Amino acid sequence: MSLAASPPHLDAPARAVLDLAGHRVSRVALGGARLTAGDGWGVPRDLDVPRGILRAALDAGIDHIDTADSLGPAVSEQIIGDVVGDRADVLVATKVGMLRPGPGEWGVLGRPDYLRQQVHASLSRLRRERIDLVYLHRIDPDYPLADQLGALQQLRRQGLIGHIGVSQPSATQLDEVLALEPDLAAVQSLYNVVARGDADLVRGLEQRGIPFLAYWPLLGRGIGADQHRALFAGLSAIGAPLGLDGAQVALAWIFTTAPGAGAVVGSRSSAHLAANARAAGIRLDAETLARIDHVVAREVGDTAFDPRRSKDEA
């Protein structure tokens, strides 16, 4: 998309790729949660469906797949291993350090021997001799951070991990992480048009030159179904004159407000994948950003973001 050809209210095109863990990849990554039967839980009844989604993502130019051992649990990684395997042209990132006691239940476990065990299990499921990027999914307060990162650093020295990231740290935790792991490859955090609490963290990462990945960029969770429909109707109305749908507007908001960021987007529709990928190169102007702020205030207001809510639930 050239500047001369850009419709009004689109600024110069955003950089459509991200340098991450030794790869240059699409700023839109395919998230692994929706490869499972539910929102991160269970084996799909027809495995050909998620396998088809993965192939469609690759065909759409999405060469960054993001998952976690806890998705399924283990289901997402297995499906990715079946389809992607050890392809060197696709960055597969995973996470360790969270538990799934049951559907809808999450826990944290940063015991070092558990983290090492889970990386070995992930290697087997993903059918890789090395995982290029492994995130500490959450920092466990019950174990020294040095021991949690140390487990991953040991695996890196052994050649089983290429790079280390961390997910959802506080600003203080990030400083502690960087003191122990100055070569931190990436940070993932919750960031979208509604959930903006980590905006300062995102800006700080940009200044430090550390890649940032936004998860739940399309609010698969956090607000109720009615609010989600109303919000995305408003975003679609903003995007229509620009040739964008609501999801593309939401993604473009991230890429405009966080110019060096990527976004981890789940999907069960191959039709949406190519549209999501195209959003990587879109940058919105200040007037459009203000209109988005107005729609968010009108449709969501002061509603607290709650990860227990899902757009798929009444």
The DSSP code sequence of 66-85 is E--TTTBTTHHHHHHHHHTT
138-147 mean pLDDT: 98
* Confidence category of residue 2, pLDDT binned at 50, 70, 90: very low
Residue-level pLDDT at 314: 52
Contacts of 304 (CB under 8 A, 6+ apart): none
pLDDT tens readout for residues 251-298: 999 999 999 999 999 998 888 898 999 999 999 999 999 999 999 999
The pTM score is: 0.94
Using 50, 70 and 90 to split pLDDT, how confident is the model at 3? Answer: very low
Enumerate residues 6+ apart whose C-beta is below 8 A from 124: none
158-194 residue pLDDT tens: 999 999 999 999 999 999 999 999 999 999 999 999 9
Query: DSSP assignment of 86-138, as one string?
Result: T-TTSEEEEEESEE-SSTT--EE---HHHHHHHHHHHHHHHT-S-EEEEEE-S
CA distances in angstroms from 199 to 196, 217, 261, 263, listed in the order given: 5, 13, 12, 14
Q: State percent of the chain over pLDDT 90.
A: 86
Q: What is the pLDDT of residues 200-239, one digit of tens each?
A: 999 999 999 999 999 999 998 899 999 999 999 999 999 9
Query: Which structure tokens are listed for 176?
Result: 């502690």
* Partner residues linked to 261 by β-bridges: 212
**pLDDT tens, position by position, 108-132:** 999 999 999 999 999 999 999 999 9
Looking at residue 215, its amino acid is Y
